[in-house]
Amino acid sequence: MAVGTSGRIVIDIDPGLKRRLHAALMEEGKSLKDWFLERCADYMAERGQSRLFEERTPNAPAQGARQ
């Protein structure tokens, strides 16, 4: 699979699996993108890497940001 520089990820999966996944996520009120990003964050955390998105309180500076 090619690895480009854009933020897009394109994969081919079984159409039936895709329908079932979308249906299950719809029941939970999640989009495929939301679910995928959650799984990515969990995977990276398990590997001991930084989280993709830092959780901050509103108006709090990002970690490492100058004040």
- Predicted pLDDT of residue 67: 44
Q: Give residue-wise pLDDT tens across range 7-37.
A: 999 999 999 999 999 999 999 999 999 999 9
Which has more confidence, 65 or 32? 32
Q: How far is CA 5 from CA 2, 18, 57, in A?
A: 10, 25, 31
Up-side HSE of residue 34: CA atoms within 13 Å toward CB? 9
Q: Does residue 64 carry a pLDDT above 60?
A: no
- Which has the higher per-residue pLDDT, 51 or 43? 43
Q: In residues, how long is the chain?
A: 67
Residue 66 scores a pLDDT above 90: no
The verdict on pTM exceeding 0.95 is: no
